Protein backbone atom coordinates (compact mmCIF):
# COMPACT_ATOMS: atom_id res chain seq x y z
CA UNK A 1 0.00 0.00 0.00
CA UNK A 2 2.82 2.40 0.93
CA UNK A 3 4.58 1.64 -2.35
CA UNK A 4 1.40 2.28 -4.34
CA UNK A 5 0.82 5.57 -2.51
CA UNK A 6 4.39 6.71 -3.26
CA UNK A 7 3.86 5.80 -6.90
CA UNK A 8 0.68 7.92 -7.12
CA UNK A 9 2.28 10.84 -5.29
CA UNK A 10 5.28 10.86 -7.64
CA UNK A 11 3.01 10.85 -10.67
CA UNK A 12 1.04 13.79 -9.28
CA UNK A 13 4.20 15.67 -8.30
CA UNK A 14 5.64 15.26 -11.77
CA UNK A 15 2.46 16.62 -13.30
CA UNK A 16 2.70 19.64 -11.05
CA UNK A 17 6.31 20.23 -12.03
CA UNK A 18 6.13 19.58 -15.75
CA UNK A 19 2.67 20.50 -16.96
CA UNK A 20 -0.67 22.13 -16.38
CA UNK A 21 -4.16 21.83 -17.77
CA UNK A 22 -6.98 24.36 -17.60
CA UNK A 23 -10.03 24.92 -19.76
CA UNK A 24 -10.79 28.42 -20.99
CA UNK A 25 -14.01 28.30 -23.06
CA UNK A 26 -13.55 30.23 -26.31
CA UNK A 27 -15.93 32.71 -27.86
CA UNK A 28 -16.21 32.71 -31.63
CA UNK A 29 -14.38 35.54 -33.40
CA UNK A 30 -15.23 35.80 -37.06
CA UNK A 31 -12.34 36.89 -39.27
CA UNK A 32 -10.08 35.46 -41.94
CA UNK A 33 -6.57 35.00 -40.65
CA UNK A 34 -3.93 32.33 -41.11
CA UNK A 35 -2.83 30.55 -37.97
CA UNK A 36 0.87 30.70 -37.22
CA UNK A 37 1.86 27.18 -36.21
CA UNK A 38 5.55 26.59 -35.60
CA UNK A 39 7.27 23.47 -36.89
CA UNK A 40 7.89 22.24 -33.34
CA UNK A 41 4.23 22.64 -32.37
CA UNK A 42 1.52 20.05 -32.82
CA UNK A 43 -2.27 20.07 -32.70
CA UNK A 44 -4.85 17.46 -31.72
CA UNK A 45 -8.43 18.11 -32.81
CA UNK A 46 -10.88 16.20 -30.64
CA UNK A 47 -13.99 14.67 -32.28
CA UNK A 48 -17.17 16.56 -31.40
CA UNK A 49 -20.92 16.25 -31.93
CA UNK A 50 -22.99 18.79 -33.87
CA UNK A 51 -26.74 19.27 -33.65
CA UNK A 52 -29.34 20.91 -35.85
CA UNK A 53 -30.73 24.28 -34.80
CA UNK A 54 -34.41 24.43 -33.87
CA UNK A 55 -35.19 25.90 -37.30
CA UNK A 56 -33.26 23.13 -39.04
CA UNK A 57 -31.41 25.68 -41.13
CA UNK A 58 -28.03 25.43 -39.41
CA UNK A 59 -25.81 22.90 -37.73
CA UNK A 60 -24.40 23.99 -34.39
CA UNK A 61 -20.79 22.80 -34.61
CA UNK A 62 -18.55 22.76 -31.50
CA UNK A 63 -14.78 22.82 -31.94
CA UNK A 64 -12.27 21.57 -29.36
CA UNK A 65 -8.54 21.19 -29.88
CA UNK A 66 -5.17 21.25 -28.14
CA UNK A 67 -1.95 22.94 -29.28
CA UNK A 68 1.35 22.04 -27.65
CA UNK A 69 5.10 21.66 -28.14
CA UNK A 70 6.63 18.18 -27.83
CA UNK A 71 9.95 19.60 -26.62
CA UNK A 72 9.31 18.76 -22.94
CA UNK A 73 11.60 15.78 -23.06
CA UNK A 74 15.21 15.26 -22.07
CA UNK A 75 16.44 15.50 -18.47
CA UNK A 76 13.13 16.00 -16.57
CA UNK A 77 11.48 13.09 -18.38
CA UNK A 78 14.51 10.82 -17.97
CA UNK A 79 14.73 11.61 -14.26
CA UNK A 80 11.03 10.98 -13.80
CA UNK A 81 11.15 7.63 -15.62
CA UNK A 82 14.06 6.56 -13.41
CA UNK A 83 12.15 7.46 -10.24
CA UNK A 84 8.99 5.69 -11.36
CA UNK A 85 11.06 2.63 -12.31
CA UNK A 86 12.61 2.61 -8.85
CA UNK A 87 9.27 2.81 -7.04
CA UNK A 88 7.32 0.46 -9.31
CA UNK A 89 10.05 -2.12 -9.76
CA UNK A 90 9.97 -1.72 -13.54
CA UNK A 91 13.40 -1.94 -15.18
CA UNK A 92 14.35 1.30 -17.03
CA UNK A 93 15.17 -0.58 -20.25
CA UNK A 94 12.05 -2.81 -20.20
CA UNK A 95 9.05 -2.75 -22.55
CA UNK A 96 6.92 -1.45 -19.68
CA UNK A 97 9.30 1.48 -19.17
CA UNK A 98 9.09 2.36 -22.87
CA UNK A 99 5.29 2.30 -22.75
CA UNK A 100 5.40 4.51 -19.69
CA UNK A 101 7.64 7.05 -21.48
CA UNK A 102 5.10 7.29 -24.31
CA UNK A 103 2.09 7.60 -22.00
CA UNK A 104 3.56 10.16 -19.60
CA UNK A 105 4.82 12.24 -22.53
CA UNK A 106 1.34 13.74 -23.01
CA UNK A 107 1.34 14.99 -19.43
CA UNK A 108 4.60 16.88 -19.75
CA UNK A 109 4.37 18.51 -23.19
CA UNK A 110 4.75 22.29 -23.30
CA UNK A 111 1.21 23.62 -23.73
CA UNK A 112 0.88 26.66 -25.99
CA UNK A 113 -1.39 29.44 -24.65
CA UNK A 114 -2.64 32.54 -26.53
CA UNK A 115 -2.65 30.88 -29.94
CA UNK A 116 -5.36 31.89 -32.43
CA UNK A 117 -6.38 28.93 -34.56
CA UNK A 118 -8.20 29.38 -37.86
CA UNK A 119 -10.27 26.44 -39.04
CA UNK A 120 -11.55 25.78 -42.53
CA UNK A 121 -14.85 24.16 -43.55
CA UNK A 122 -14.93 23.99 -47.34
CA UNK A 123 -14.37 27.62 -48.35
CA UNK A 124 -15.39 29.08 -44.98
CA UNK A 125 -12.75 30.27 -42.48
CA UNK A 126 -13.36 30.88 -38.79
CA UNK A 127 -10.79 32.09 -36.25
CA UNK A 128 -11.29 30.96 -32.66
CA UNK A 129 -10.41 32.78 -29.47
CA UNK A 130 -6.88 32.26 -28.14
CA UNK A 131 -5.96 28.92 -26.60
CA UNK A 132 -5.95 28.76 -22.81
CA UNK A 133 -3.03 28.07 -20.48
CA UNK A 134 -3.42 24.36 -21.12
CA UNK A 135 -3.23 24.84 -24.88
CA UNK A 136 -6.90 23.91 -25.35
CA UNK A 137 -9.03 26.03 -27.68
CA UNK A 138 -12.78 26.10 -28.26
CA UNK A 139 -15.43 27.53 -30.50
CA UNK A 140 -19.02 27.06 -31.63
CA UNK A 141 -19.96 27.67 -35.24
CA UNK A 142 -23.31 27.89 -37.01
CA UNK A 143 -22.85 26.19 -40.36
CA UNK A 144 -25.64 26.19 -43.02
CA UNK A 145 -27.37 22.82 -43.24
CA UNK A 146 -27.29 22.87 -47.06
CA UNK A 147 -23.50 23.17 -47.04
CA UNK A 148 -23.13 20.45 -44.44
CA UNK A 149 -25.21 18.04 -46.52
CA UNK A 150 -22.71 18.47 -49.35
CA UNK A 151 -19.59 18.14 -47.20
CA UNK A 152 -20.37 15.36 -44.71
CA UNK A 153 -19.65 11.74 -45.61
CA UNK A 154 -22.00 8.72 -45.61
CA UNK A 155 -21.48 8.30 -41.87
CA UNK A 156 -22.64 11.90 -41.30
CA UNK A 157 -19.12 12.98 -40.36
CA UNK A 158 -17.91 16.42 -41.36
CA UNK A 159 -14.16 16.94 -41.72
CA UNK A 160 -12.39 20.25 -41.20
CA UNK A 161 -8.78 21.37 -41.27
CA UNK A 162 -6.56 23.96 -39.66
CA UNK A 163 -5.78 26.79 -42.07
CA UNK A 164 -2.12 27.72 -41.71
CA UNK A 165 1.16 28.05 -43.53
CA UNK A 166 2.28 24.71 -42.10
CA UNK A 167 2.62 21.92 -44.72
CA UNK A 168 1.18 19.40 -42.26
CA UNK A 169 -2.58 18.82 -42.32
CA UNK A 170 -4.43 18.85 -39.01
CA UNK A 171 -7.86 17.27 -39.54
CA UNK A 172 -10.82 17.25 -37.16
CA UNK A 173 -14.06 15.26 -37.23
CA UNK A 174 -17.52 16.50 -36.37
CA UNK A 175 -20.32 13.94 -36.02
CA UNK A 176 -23.50 15.48 -37.41
CA UNK A 177 -26.10 13.80 -35.22
CA UNK A 178 -29.69 14.20 -36.47
CA UNK A 179 -32.58 15.08 -34.12
CA UNK A 180 -33.92 11.50 -34.08
CA UNK A 181 -31.95 8.30 -33.58
CA UNK A 182 -30.29 5.96 -31.11
CA UNK A 183 -27.19 6.95 -29.15
CA UNK A 184 -24.93 4.79 -26.98
CA UNK A 185 -23.27 6.52 -24.05
CA UNK A 186 -20.40 4.27 -23.01
CA UNK A 187 -17.82 4.22 -20.27
CA UNK A 188 -14.24 3.27 -21.26
CA UNK A 189 -12.29 1.74 -18.34
CA UNK A 190 -13.43 -1.85 -17.69
CA UNK A 191 -16.28 -1.39 -20.16
CA UNK A 192 -14.39 -1.46 -23.47
CA UNK A 193 -10.82 -1.51 -22.09
CA UNK A 194 -9.51 -3.70 -19.25
CA UNK A 195 -8.25 -1.38 -16.51
CA UNK A 196 -9.11 -3.09 -13.20
CA UNK A 197 -10.20 0.13 -11.51
CA UNK A 198 -11.04 -1.65 -8.26
CA UNK A 199 -7.33 -2.37 -7.72
CA UNK A 200 -5.57 1.02 -7.79
CA UNK A 201 -2.11 -0.49 -8.22
CA UNK A 202 -3.26 -2.55 -11.20
CA UNK A 203 -5.14 0.47 -12.54
CA UNK A 204 -1.89 2.45 -12.55
CA UNK A 205 -0.03 -0.36 -14.28
CA UNK A 206 -2.75 -0.87 -16.90
CA UNK A 207 -2.96 2.88 -17.52
CA UNK A 208 0.74 3.75 -17.71
CA UNK A 209 2.83 0.59 -18.18
CA UNK A 210 0.91 -1.90 -20.33
CA UNK A 211 -0.59 -2.04 -23.79
CA UNK A 212 -4.31 -1.46 -23.53
CA UNK A 213 -6.38 -4.65 -23.64
CA UNK A 214 -9.92 -4.71 -25.09
CA UNK A 215 -12.84 -6.10 -23.14
CA UNK A 216 -13.87 -9.32 -24.95
CA UNK A 217 -16.59 -8.91 -27.55
CA UNK A 218 -17.24 -5.19 -27.05
CA UNK A 219 -15.80 -3.93 -30.34
CA UNK A 220 -17.82 -6.57 -32.22
CA UNK A 221 -20.98 -5.48 -30.41
CA UNK A 222 -20.39 -1.78 -31.07
CA UNK A 223 -19.66 -2.41 -34.76
CA UNK A 224 -22.90 -4.36 -35.00
CA UNK A 225 -24.84 -1.48 -33.47
CA UNK A 226 -23.03 1.03 -35.70
CA UNK A 227 -24.32 -0.80 -38.78
CA UNK A 228 -27.81 0.13 -37.64
CA UNK A 229 -27.02 3.83 -37.47
CA UNK A 230 -26.25 4.07 -33.76
CA UNK A 231 -24.12 7.03 -32.59
CA UNK A 232 -21.49 6.67 -29.86
CA UNK A 233 -20.32 8.92 -27.03
CA UNK A 234 -17.54 7.86 -24.64
CA UNK A 235 -17.82 9.48 -21.22
CA UNK A 236 -14.71 8.78 -19.17
CA UNK A 237 -13.05 9.81 -15.91
CA UNK A 238 -9.67 9.62 -17.67
CA UNK A 239 -7.93 12.96 -18.39
CA UNK A 240 -7.58 14.39 -21.90
CA UNK A 241 -3.86 13.63 -21.76
CA UNK A 242 -4.75 9.96 -22.40
CA UNK A 243 -6.95 10.72 -25.42
CA UNK A 244 -4.32 10.01 -28.08
CA UNK A 245 -3.42 6.57 -26.77
CA UNK A 246 -7.04 5.62 -26.14
CA UNK A 247 -8.06 6.71 -29.63
CA UNK A 248 -5.23 4.66 -31.19
CA UNK A 249 -6.36 1.67 -29.11
CA UNK A 250 -9.95 2.13 -30.30
CA UNK A 251 -8.89 2.20 -33.95
CA UNK A 252 -6.56 -0.78 -33.59
CA UNK A 253 -9.35 -2.94 -32.19
CA UNK A 254 -12.07 -1.81 -34.58
CA UNK A 255 -14.27 0.30 -32.33
CA UNK A 256 -16.48 2.74 -34.30
CA UNK A 257 -15.62 6.42 -34.50
CA UNK A 258 -17.11 8.24 -31.53
CA UNK A 259 -17.25 11.49 -29.59
CA UNK A 260 -15.15 11.67 -26.42
CA UNK A 261 -15.95 13.43 -23.14
CA UNK A 262 -12.99 13.27 -20.76
CA UNK A 263 -11.80 14.91 -17.58
CA UNK A 264 -9.99 18.23 -17.50
CA UNK A 265 -7.63 18.80 -14.61
CA UNK A 266 -5.42 21.72 -13.65
CA UNK A 267 -2.21 20.11 -12.56
CA UNK A 268 -0.83 23.00 -10.48
CA UNK A 269 -3.59 23.28 -7.89
CA UNK A 270 -5.87 21.03 -5.83
CA UNK A 271 -8.04 20.15 -8.84
CA UNK A 272 -5.26 17.65 -9.67
CA UNK A 273 -6.90 15.37 -7.13
CA UNK A 274 -10.03 15.23 -9.32
CA UNK A 275 -8.26 12.44 -11.17
CA UNK A 276 -9.04 10.26 -8.12
CA UNK A 277 -12.39 11.79 -7.08
CA UNK A 278 -15.77 10.07 -6.95
CA UNK A 279 -17.08 10.29 -10.54
CA UNK A 280 -20.81 10.37 -9.74
CA UNK A 281 -21.45 14.10 -10.02
CA UNK A 282 -19.04 14.98 -12.84
CA UNK A 283 -20.03 12.01 -14.98
CA UNK A 284 -23.75 12.54 -14.35
CA UNK A 285 -23.44 16.13 -15.60
CA UNK A 286 -21.68 15.00 -18.78
CA UNK A 287 -24.30 12.31 -19.48
CA UNK A 288 -27.19 14.69 -18.87
CA UNK A 289 -25.57 17.24 -21.19
CA UNK A 290 -25.70 14.70 -24.03
CA UNK A 291 -29.33 13.84 -23.26
CA UNK A 292 -30.32 17.50 -23.27
CA UNK A 293 -28.58 18.11 -26.61
CA UNK A 294 -30.54 15.30 -28.28
CA UNK A 295 -33.92 15.15 -26.47
CA UNK A 296 -35.59 13.16 -29.28
CA UNK A 297 -33.01 10.35 -29.25
CA UNK A 298 -33.28 7.05 -27.45
CA UNK A 299 -30.23 6.17 -25.36
CA UNK A 300 -28.41 3.03 -24.29
CA UNK A 301 -26.13 3.51 -21.28
CA UNK A 302 -23.21 1.05 -21.12
CA UNK A 303 -20.82 0.79 -18.19
CA UNK A 304 -19.33 -1.62 -15.68
CA UNK A 305 -19.67 -2.55 -12.03
CA UNK A 306 -16.15 -1.45 -11.04
CA UNK A 307 -17.00 2.06 -9.86
CA UNK A 308 -20.27 4.00 -9.93
CA UNK A 309 -21.77 3.42 -13.38
CA UNK A 310 -24.87 1.61 -12.01
CA UNK A 311 -25.54 4.43 -9.56
CA UNK A 312 -24.97 7.17 -12.14
CA UNK A 313 -27.10 5.51 -14.80
CA UNK A 314 -29.84 4.82 -12.28
CA UNK A 315 -29.96 8.50 -11.28
CA UNK A 316 -30.07 9.60 -14.92
CA UNK A 317 -32.75 7.08 -15.91
CA UNK A 318 -35.08 8.09 -13.09
CA UNK A 319 -34.72 11.72 -14.22
CA UNK A 320 -35.12 10.98 -17.97
CA UNK A 321 -37.18 7.76 -18.06
CA UNK A 322 -38.54 8.32 -21.57
CA UNK A 323 -35.12 8.81 -23.15
CA UNK A 324 -33.36 5.71 -21.78
CA UNK A 325 -34.16 2.51 -23.67
CA UNK A 326 -31.69 0.33 -21.78
CA UNK A 327 -28.81 0.09 -19.32
CA UNK A 328 -26.04 -2.49 -19.67
CA UNK A 329 -23.51 -3.09 -16.88
CA UNK A 330 -20.47 -5.28 -17.55
CA UNK A 331 -19.92 -7.43 -14.46
CA UNK A 332 -16.39 -7.28 -13.06
CA UNK A 333 -17.25 -7.55 -9.35
CA UNK A 334 -19.33 -10.74 -9.31
CA UNK A 335 -22.37 -9.14 -7.66
CA UNK A 336 -25.70 -10.77 -8.43
CA UNK A 337 -28.56 -8.92 -10.05
CA UNK A 338 -30.46 -9.36 -6.77
CA UNK A 339 -27.74 -7.68 -4.68
CA UNK A 340 -28.64 -4.69 -2.55
CA UNK A 341 -26.33 -2.53 -4.61
CA UNK A 342 -28.19 -3.13 -7.87
CA UNK A 343 -31.61 -3.02 -6.26
CA UNK A 344 -30.75 0.39 -4.78
CA UNK A 345 -29.10 1.68 -7.96
CA UNK A 346 -32.03 0.71 -10.18
CA UNK A 347 -34.95 1.29 -7.82
CA UNK A 348 -38.16 2.35 -9.56
CA UNK A 349 -36.67 1.28 -12.92
CA UNK A 350 -38.31 -1.57 -14.83
CA UNK A 351 -36.41 -4.87 -14.58
CA UNK A 352 -36.65 -5.18 -18.37
CA UNK A 353 -34.66 -1.98 -18.80
CA UNK A 354 -31.36 -3.00 -17.21
CA UNK A 355 -29.01 -5.93 -17.68
CA UNK A 356 -25.89 -7.20 -15.90
CA UNK A 357 -23.73 -9.02 -18.45
CA UNK A 358 -20.45 -10.86 -18.86
CA UNK A 359 -20.82 -11.74 -22.53
CA UNK A 360 -21.84 -8.84 -24.85
CA UNK A 361 -23.93 -11.27 -26.91
CA UNK A 362 -26.41 -11.16 -24.02
CA UNK A 363 -27.42 -7.62 -24.98
CA UNK A 364 -29.92 -8.39 -27.73
CA UNK A 365 -32.66 -7.26 -25.36
CA UNK A 366 -32.14 -3.72 -26.76
CA UNK A 367 -33.92 -4.88 -29.91
CA UNK A 368 -31.26 -3.53 -32.24
CA UNK A 369 -31.62 -6.35 -34.71
CA UNK A 370 -29.73 -7.56 -37.75
What's the pLDDT tens digit per position in 275-326? 556 678 889 999 999 999 999 999 999 999 998 999 999 999 999 999 999 9
CB of 264 closer than 8 Å to CB of 240: yes
Write down the CATH number for the domain with range 20-67+113-176. Answer: 2.60.40
Q: How confident is the model at residue 5, as a pLDDT?
A: 43
- The neighbour count for residue 99, using CB atoms within 10 Å, is 17
For residue 171, give every residue at least 6 positions away whose Cβ sits within 8 Å of its Cβ, in sequence order, or none.
45, 159, 160, 161
Alpha-carbon distance of 153 to 200, in angstroms, equals 42
Specify the CATH superfamily of domain 181-366. Answer: HAD superfamily/HAD-like (3.40.50.1000)
Task: Identify which has the larger pLDDT, 367 or 362.
Answer: 362
| β-bridge partners, 118 | 127
For residue 137, pLDDT over 80 is answered with yes
Q: How confident is the model at residue 138, as a pLDDT?
A: 94
Per-residue pLDDT band for 72 (boundaries 50, 70, 90) equals: low
Task: Identify which has the larger pLDDT, 240 or 154.
Answer: 240
Q: How confident is the model at residue 34, as a pLDDT?
A: 44
Lowest mean pLDDT among 18-27, 74-83, 242-251, 352-361: 18-27
Per-residue pLDDT band for 122 (boundaries 50, 70, 90) equals: confident
For residue 264, pLDDT over 90 is answered with no
Q: Find the mean pLDDT for residues 106-115.
A: 88
CB of 35 closer than 8 Å to CB of 118: yes
Angle at 61 between CA 59 and CA 62, to 5 degrees: 160
The per-residue pLDDT for range 218-239, each reduced to its tens digit, is 999 999 999 989 999 999 988 9
Per-residue pLDDT band for 142 (boundaries 50, 70, 90) equals: very high
Alpha-carbon distance of 108 to 69, in angstroms, equals 10
Every domain of the chain with CATH number 2.60.40 lies at 20-67+113-176
Q: How confident is the model at residue 282, as a pLDDT?
A: 85
Per-residue pLDDT band for 35 (boundaries 50, 70, 90) equals: low
Q: How confident is the model at residue 18, as a pLDDT?
A: 39
Every domain of the chain with CATH number 3.40.50.1000 lies at 181-366
For residue 352, pLDDT over 60 is answered with yes
Q: What is the 3-state secondary structure (H, E, C) of 114-142?
A: CCCCEEEECCEEEEECCCCCCCEEEEEEE
Per-residue pLDDT band for 76 (boundaries 50, 70, 90) equals: low
Phi, psi of 90, deg, nearest 5? -85, 130
Q: How confident is the model at residue 84, as a pLDDT?
A: 64
For residue 362, pLDDT over 80 is answered with yes
- Exposure string (b/e) for 139-159, b if CB count within 10 Å is 16 or more? bbbebeeebbeebbeeebebe
For residue 83, pLDDT over 70 is answered with no
Per-residue pLDDT band for 154 (boundaries 50, 70, 90) equals: confident
Q: What is the mean pLDDT of the chain?
A: 84
What is each CA distance from 161 to 38, 89, 167, 171, 307, in whole angstroms?
16, 44, 12, 5, 38
The per-residue pLDDT for range 183-197, each reduced to its tens digit, is 999 999 999 999 999
Amino acid sequence: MKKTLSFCVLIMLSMCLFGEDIQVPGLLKLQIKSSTIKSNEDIILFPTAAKLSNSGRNWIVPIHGWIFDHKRDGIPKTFFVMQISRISGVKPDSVEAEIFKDRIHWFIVDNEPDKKITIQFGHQFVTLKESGKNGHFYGVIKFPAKKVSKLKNQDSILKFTINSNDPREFTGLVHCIPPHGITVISDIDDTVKISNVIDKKELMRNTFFKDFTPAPGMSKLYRKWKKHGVFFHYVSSSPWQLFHDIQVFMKDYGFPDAIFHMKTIRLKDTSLFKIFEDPVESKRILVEGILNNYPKHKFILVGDSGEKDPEIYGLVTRKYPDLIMGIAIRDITGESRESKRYQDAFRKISDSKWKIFKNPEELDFFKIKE
